[in-house]
Amino acid sequence: MAVEYSVPLSDIIKTFSLTPICCADETDKVLIRSAEINKPGLQLFGQYQYFDETRIEIIGLTEMQCIKEFDLEQREKALEEFFSRRPPAVIITRNLEPGEVMLQAAKRHNVPLLHSADGTSAFMAALISYLNVHLAPRVTRHGVLVEVYGEGILLLGESGVGKSETAIELIKRGHRLIADDAVEIRRVSSRSLVGSAPDNIRHYVELRGIGIINARRIFGMGSIKQTEKIDLVLNMELWNPERAYDRMGLENEYTEILGLQIPSITIPVKPGRNLAVIIEVAAMNNRQKKLGYNAAKELLAQLGLDQSDAEDLPLQDDWS
């Protein structure tokens, strides 16, 4: 069964500096569970067929002007029916005055009525983005998340393979740590995942033989970041001489996380390999691929070969 997440209305009030108008005494107990919001234009004319009572309602200049043009009887009827549906909150943008009829209807049905100084479009965009993150489906993976040249790199692998040590080397080279050991991954849209660290272990790194260190304290504020989009998954595994590792990079591999396919590569680990440099190159190469450039395909084209001939090329140790 899917887990349902929520965010207290009080957190939204604090984040967006909203001003309570009425019925906002226990907003910490009002839980928002829908990332979608609504502007009740049609509802003011009695259209409630597809009305979702879990959404936050936004009243802007258009809705307020519509209410003002109603005569007193129409206004009372429309607002009474609207507030009787008891949406979790009604937010009026541009600090527009609600009017006595709206104020009384909100009080009767105990619906929090709030003010925002922002314009309607800007406020809605910011609120939707906020709710998408805080209500997103999520999963926790054992691994390390770092930002390398603007690319979010998720390092996965067995304990002891060297993920944390590699992350420290990357930090020393000017890159940033998001999470070590446990990475909380959220699906914030139909195309992207965002990773962060659980609050209680944020900025901490475990190094075998040394113990727990605080990366922010040792390397400074520039060495850490709160969240980052996951662009590439690197699976680190001990070198297996029996396994044939990808030598050309022509075939695209993916790792499925929360229903999304994320580009991934496998990095064999053995003494003498500079993993930090390899990950830097992987990050830059992944960015080039997103821009439409593939070095392996270009090489084959220059040699006059197609992809089926790639396995016959003398690469790496075969070159003299």
Residue 164 near residue 180 (C-beta atoms within 8 A): yes
Q: Which of 75, 138, 163, 187 is catalytic?
A: 163
Separation of alpha carbons 219 and 222, rounded Å:
8
301: helix, strand or coil? helix
Dig out the tokens for 53 from the structure: 């009572």
Marked catalytic residue, from 85, 109, 202, 247 = 247
Question: Residue with structure tokens 């005055």?
Answer: 97
- Using a CB cutoff of 8 Å and minimum separation of 24, what contacts does 249-253 make? 249/285, 249/294, 249/295, 249/296, 250/294, 250/296, 250/297, 250/300, 250/307, 250/310
3-class state of residue 103 by DSSP: helix
Which of the following is catalytic: 14, 77, 108, 142?
142
CA 80 to chain centre: 38
247 is catalytic: yes
- DSSP symbol at 173: T
Q: How many residues does the chain have?
A: 320
Does 290 qualify as catalytic in the annotation?
no
Pairwise CA distance, residues 2 & 198, whole Å: 20
For the chain, what is the largest distance between any 2 Cα atoms, rounded to a whole number of angstroms?
91
Q: Hey, is 132 helix, strand or coil?
A: helix
Look up 141 and say whether it is catalytic. Answer: no
Catalytic residue at 163? yes
Q: Where are the beta strands (DSSP E) in 54-203?
A: 56-59, 90-92, 113-115, 138-148, 151-157, 176-187, 193-196
Provide the CB-side half-sphere exposure for 95 (13 A, CA): 4
Among the listed residues 39, 115, 181, 229, the single catalytic one is 181
CA distance 155 to 232: 9
Catalytic amino acids? 142, 163, 181, 247
